[in-house]
Amino acid sequence: MGTTNRSLHADVLVIGFGKGGKTVAATMGRLGKRVVLVERSARMYGGTCPNVGCVPTKALVHHSRKRRPEDVPQEWYERSVGEVQALTKLFRGGNYDGLNSMDTITVITGTAAFTDPHTVSVDSGDGRVTITAETILINTGSQPIVLDIPGLRTSQYTVTSTELIDTTILPGRLAIIGGGYLGLEFASIYGQFGSQVTVLEAAPKIFGLVDDDVAAVAEGILVDEGIEIITGASTTEIRDGETSATVVYEADGRQHTLEADAVLAATGRAPATRNLNLEAAGVRTTQRGAVEVDEHLRSSQPHIFALGDVNGGPQFTYISLDDSRIVLDQLIGEGKRSTADRVAIPHTVFITPPLATVGITEAHARANGYRVKIASQPVADIVAMPRAYIVEDTRGMMKFVLDAETDEILGAALLSVDAQEMINTVSLAMRHGIRAAELRDAVYTHPTSTEAFNDVLATVVRSDV
């Protein structure tokens, strides 16, 4: 079959099938607009989250925790990966059908590159498609960064997070380069599956975005589960052997080596803009390669928007969803919504139990001149939280940073069962100016985790007052 060249015109062209782009595409399609959505990989319909990010990793957290001592690690892991892949395939198909089934939307699988500010050329495998559009959305996401450490990029044992969750062989020894939230989530997952995990972090401590007291408890949980964490470790070389890799690193002024069956590069993700030929479109990028945008997510070309990880903002699916609201407000709304509207955005790292945070830390509050009071308790001491005992996990702690003068909630760190749910209640309270006393005295269902707020917020353990 010969290749064909064809042309399409769209009202809206979306490059990349991520959360923000697909949400705008679906909305505009329902309004009768002609929409074309280009995705370079048939495995990425729906974006990072359902395919290689949130959904498979959280499903692996779930499966890893169900393994009993008598379950053979390799067999359990292989079965778990199979079940998770079936789940992501289901989500992927739903994402594709949800858009492609609409008469107004065309999904094209291929690699897009700009030829001018309103035109994109797509190599779709069976020919070239030239698409012109009035409005263009860049939604290409991010990709794992593999640092230029000697031997790391060329080692047969190096994997990215995407590759690791795709393999059905459980690494006996897993070295993780990078102790950020991605690295620690994977440490927690693979440690529970039965891998011997070592985390190498260049910074002097892990969990650097929370206060030291919370970080110590979180690190203690991982160490108690058998995960080795080496901070202040600079990885200098990866040497391939016949059956394993030797990881060479420096710590405490000395050189050390570590044997590993797999080396996970977990040093962050960079915006995926390299092959878009943005220069031809006159679209400016930042030093990190992100599309430069204003508070309404418009690029240096007013008809070209960037949503999700590619615009250099926080790399979370729910931010990408909020990006879609901002862009839709520009296209069909009043044009008032902006990134400046975002207040008290929560974040969760899915170790077990999860660590969920919102707002500022105690250290940050003090450095910014607040008079603070602190309410903090270990989960095991929270009388009003029998749920932790019911589900047999009383590890962790909860901490609130409060303004001593106004009783305003400045920030919270919840390290506990159900923290990923509870943090949304705290965020909502912060966004609407609900004081700590109201959260403390609210009526919550029982037995739940949220009712822990009744206890924790009644315990002001430290105060400047």
pLDDT digits (tens, 9 = 90+) for 86-103: 999 999 999 989 998 999
Whether the pLDDT of residue 462 is over 70: the answer is: no
**Helix/strand number for the chain, H first, E second:** 14, 23
In the predicted model, is pLDDT for residue 279 greater than 50? yes
**18 annotated among ligand-binding-site residues:** no
State the DSSP code for 69.
T
93 in a labelled binding site: no
Residue among 9, 347, 364, 446 flagged as catalytic: 446
pLDDT (0 to 100) of residue 207: 96
The DSSP bridge partners found for residue 377 are 398
CA–CA distances in Å: residue 193 to residues 65, 73, 266, 385: 8, 6, 19, 29
Q: Is the per-residue pLDDT at 464 higher than 70?
A: no
Superfamily of domain 347-463 in the CATH hierarchy:
FAD/NAD-linked reductase, C-terminal dimerisation domain (3.30.390.30)
Rounded distance, CA 165 to CA 204, Å?
A: 28
Res 463: pLDDT? 65
Q: Check residue 275 and give its pLDDT.
A: 93
Residue 128 has pLDDT above 70, yes or no: yes
| 183 assigned binding-site residue | yes
Asked if 297 contacts 323 with a C-beta cutoff of 8 angstroms, the reply is yes
In the chain, ranges of CATH 3.50.50.60 domains: 4-142+270-341, 158-267
State the average pLDDT for the chain: 95
Q: Residue 48: its pLDDT value, please?
A: 85
Overall average pLDDT of the 345-374 stretch: 97
**Cα gap 19→48, rounded to integer Å:** 8
312 is in an annotated binding site: no
Q: What pLDDT digit, counting tens, does each position of 213-242 carry? A: 999 999 999 999 999 999 999 999 999 999
- Specify whether 446 is catalytic: yes
pLDDT higher than threshold 70 for residue 1: no
CA 117 vs. chain centroid, Å, equals 31
From 149-153, 312-316, 328-332, 405-409, the region with the lowest mean pLDDT: 312-316
pLDDT over 70, % of the chain: 98
Sign of CA dihedral 336, 337, 338, 344: positive
Its CATH class, for the domain covering 4-142+270-341, is alpha beta
Homologous superfamily assigned to 158-267: FAD/NAD(P)-binding domain (3.50.50.60)
Q: Which residue has the higher pLDDT, 252 or 45?
A: 252
User: Residues of CATH 3.30.390.30 domain(s) within the chain?
Assistant: 347-463
The per-residue pLDDT for range 134-162, each reduced to its tens digit, is 999 999 999 999 999 999 999 999 999 99
Instruction: Give the separation between CA 378 and CA 396, rounded to whole angstroms.
Output: 6
Q: Is 140 annotated as a binding residue?
A: yes
Other C-beta atoms lying within 10 Å of the C-beta of residue 321: 17
Q: For position 393, what pLDDT does the model report?
A: 95
Q: What is the mean pLDDT of residues 450-457?
A: 97
Task: Report whether pLDDT(53) > 50.
Answer: yes
